[in-house]
Structure 1
Amino acid sequence: MNFFKRLYKMGQAEANATLDSMEDPIKITEQGIRDLKEELKESVASLAQVKALEIRSKTEHKEFLTNIENYQEKALLLLNKAKNGNLDLDEAERLAKAALIKKEENVKAAEKAKEEAVKYESSVIEMEANVTEIKRNISRWENELKTLKARVKVSNATKKMNRQMAGVDASSTVDMLERMKQKVSQEEALAEAYGNIANNKTTIDFEIDKAIDFTKDTAENELIKLKQQLGFPNELKS
């Protein structure tokens, strides 16, 4: 069947070098499944019709066989009646002959009905196999569709991630690192500047105290005061 060929080719699409020029594989699969289901409907309808013909042929065959027996019995009864004197012999033979002709007609009809029944039975077997095969393929391709959709999701997610990663190339990474280094250097320089300001303030205070030598002068004055209290004479400092 054409749709089987199409689905088979679609199943090989992954290994086909012209995959990019094909239709969407998911749409192809979905359409293939719809085609299979439509084919299944038609096959089931045809199967029902042929099966009905098979049943009818078998029923007719049985009816013809019954008629054959009936006409055979009627011919015998007519001849017996003539033999017993209950019916004119010529009339009995005429009617018996007509019954035998009917019998022969039913024999031929029975043979034809049997041939048709055999033919329809063979067709039914073949069509039932086709229906089973279509059902099996529908189930298989529905499972394939689920797998294909899952693979497409993964593929799209991977493609998106790879595209994002591809945007972060070597040059952009180096530029980013350089900007970060400049930012860190700027922050370090700012910290050093604040440190210098703090150190300058401490240095000025230290220089003032050192110039005054406040600690030394205070001790000298205290010594003079103590010597005065004890009566030491004033000494002139050289």
Structure 2
Amino acid sequence: MGMFSRINDIVQANINAMLDKAEDPEKIIRLIIQEMEETLVEVRTDAARYIAQQKTLARHIDAAKKEVDGWQHKAQIAMNNDKESLAKAALMEKQKYVVKLTSLEEQEGHLADSIEKIQGDTARLNTKLAEAKAKQKTLVQRKNSAQTRLKVKQADHESKIDDAMTRFENYEQRIDHLEAQVDAYDLTKSSEATSLQAEFDAMQADETIERELAELKKSKVA
């Protein structure tokens, strides 16, 4: 792809449309910016080369003009001295430099057009690059904002879960307390029943002892 064609494609590209279609807009905008920056480096390199060529052409043109003027002057001197053949030879030599000068000036014109086009394209590329960087900044801000909002939502959700767990634990503690009261009541009731049974058992034991004691007394009397 030619440099100018490549620049035109970049400048004509619809950044918003490319980002809308992309699965990862942030990655795409980075690639777009990278492509533009690399193209700008190439454009500057070409511009430097063209300017160097322009300076070289300017020196060659200046030299060719001097040759044209020099051979014209020599032809005039020869004619002033009635040396027509020498004057003709000088004019023929002059004509060679006229042709060369015309060619050099045409090259200089084309080169000037190319430099002017590069300057215009460089300005357009810089504008497009600024647009892309602004778009990248917006994307980064939107991403950071979304991440912040997500963290807030997650923190709020986690807080609600923690509150729910706390309420559940409190509820469990209340149930534990109720169950402990029931167990304590059963324990107290059981202790009372055991104590009552012990009294009955003691009474029966006393009756048995008294009966046996009476039996012994009877045996002694006999």
Matched positions, count: 176
Q: 1:141 aligns with which of 132, 138, 141?
A: 132
State the match for 1:38 in structure 2.
38
State the match for 2:5 in structure 1.
none
State the match for 1:96 in structure 2.
87
State the match for 1:179 in structure 2.
168
Give 1:144 shift: 2.7
Give 1:124 shift: 0.7
Percent identity between the two aligned chains: 18
Whether the 8 Å contact between 2:11 and 2:124 is mirrored in structure 1 is no
User: For 2:115, what is the secondary structure of its paired residue?
Assistant: helix
Distance in 2, matches of 1:48 and 1:175, equals 71
Whether the 8 Å contact between 1:55 and 1:117 is mirrored in structure 2 is no
The yes-or-no answer on 1:62 pairing with 2:75 is: no
Relative distance call for 1:178 and 1:61 in structure 2 (3 A) is: closer
Q: Deviations over 1:67-110 (max 9, x none)?
A: 2221111012122234xxxxxxxxx3332211100111222222
Q: 2:145 aligns with which of 135, 154, 161?
A: 154
RMSD (CA atoms): 3.6
Distance in 1, matches of 2:34 and 2:64, equals 45
Paired AA for residue 111 in structure 1: T
Distance in 2, matches of 1:174 and 1:44, equals 63
Paired AA for residue 161 in structure 1: V
Distance in 2, matches of 1:54 and 1:100, equals 28
The yes-or-no answer on 1:122 pairing with 2:127 is: no
Distance in 2, matches of 1:27 and 1:63, equals 54
- TM-score with structure 1 setting the length: 0.59
Distance in 1, matches of 2:10 and 2:159, equals 46
Paired AA for residue 101 in structure 1: M
Relative distance call for 1:189 and 1:13 in structure 2 (3 A) is: farther
Q: Deviations over 1:141-181 (max 9, x none)?
A: 23332332122111122234335556788xx7996597377
State the match for 2:17 in structure 1.
12
User: For 1:12, what is the secondary structure of its paired residue?
Assistant: helix
Of structures 1 and 2, the larger Rg is shown by 1
Whether the 8 Å contact between 2:54 and 2:111 is mirrored in structure 1 is yes
- TM-score with structure 2 setting the length: 0.63
Q: Which has the higher helix share?
A: 2
Relative distance call for 1:178 and 1:142 in structure 2 (3 A) is: closer
Give 1:57 shift: 2.7
Unpaired runs of 5+ in structure 2? 1-7, 183-222
Paired AA for residue 182 in structure 1: Y
Unpaired runs of 5+ in structure 1? 83-91, 194-238
Paired AA for residue 72 in structure 1: Q
Which aligned segments of 4 or more residues in structure 1 are displaced greater than 4 angstroms? 163-169, 172-178, 183-190
Tell which deviates more after alignment, 54-63 or 113-122: 54-63
Distance in 1, matches of 2:115 and 2:121, equals 10
Paired AA for residue 148 in structure 1: L
State the match for 1:77 in structure 2.
77
Whether the 8 Å contact between 2:76 and 2:87 is mirrored in structure 1 is yes
